[in-house]
Amino acid sequence: MGSVSILLLMFCGFAFAALAIGLGNKLSLKRYNPEKGEAYECGMETQGTTWVQFHVGYYLFALVFLLFDVEIAFLYPWAVVFKEIGMVAFIEIVFFVLVLFLGLLYAHKKKALSWM
């Protein structure tokens, strides 16, 4: 069907969600109550603001992820042509992966991969 199908499914998802949420809004009974608009945190009144700076631990993982995600993106084209090229491709990829594996070991040594 060609590249149109991506647009088609984007539209389908959007239309489906819009239709369902719209229908829900139409059918549901609405009664205004200020209590309904409060944050649901176990019934107590909310203490302090939510939008705060977050723990840096999550970002360390995001950084290491970025490194390996790019590695995997490079591995895909290699995987397709690997069998045609043969031994040379294998040796090259061993070096490529080894360098990144050292990076993983370094991150492990620096305790970036252990929580908190």
Partner 1 sequence: MQLSISLLEITRAIDSWLNSIFHPHVAFGIELVLAGVAVILLVVAMAVLMVYAERKLAGFMQMRLGPMRVGKYGSMQAIADVMKLLLKECLVPTNSDKMMFKLAPFVVTVVSFMTIVPIAFARGIQLWDINIGVFYITAVSSLSVIGILMAGWSSNNKYSLLGAMRSGAQIVSYELSGGLALIVVVMMSGTLSISGIVQAQADGWWVIKGHIPVIIAFVTFIITSTAELNRAPFDLAEAESELTAGYHTEYSGMQFAMFFLSEYTNMFVLSMVAATVFLGGWMPFHIAGLEGFNHFMDYIPGIVWFFGKTFFILFLIVWFRWTFPRLRIDQLLKLEWKYLLPVSIINVLFAAFIALMGWYL
Nearest to 107 by CA among 79, 66, 75, 77: 66
Applying the rule CB under 8 A, the residues between 12 and 51 that interact with partner 1 are 12-14, 16-18, 20-21, 23-25, 27-31, 34, 36-42, 46, 50-51
The conformation of residue 86, written as its DSSP 8-state character, comes to T
Applying the rule CB under 8 A, the residues between 79 and 108 that interact with partner 1 are 79-84, 86-87, 90, 93-94, 97, 101, 104, 108
Q: Is there binding between residue 11 and partner 1 (CB under 8 A)?
A: yes
Distance CA 58, CA 4 (A): 37
Distance CA 114, CA 107 (A): 9
**Token pair of 55, please?**
């723990």
Dihedral pair phi/psi, residue 95, rounded to 5°: -65, -45
Footprint on this chain of partner 1 (rule: CB under 8 A): 1-6, 8-14, 16-18, 20-21, 23-25, 27-31, 34, 36-42, 46, 50-51, 54, 58, 61-62, 64-65, 68-69, 72, 75-76, 79-84, 86-87, 90, 93-94, 97, 101, 104, 108, 113-116
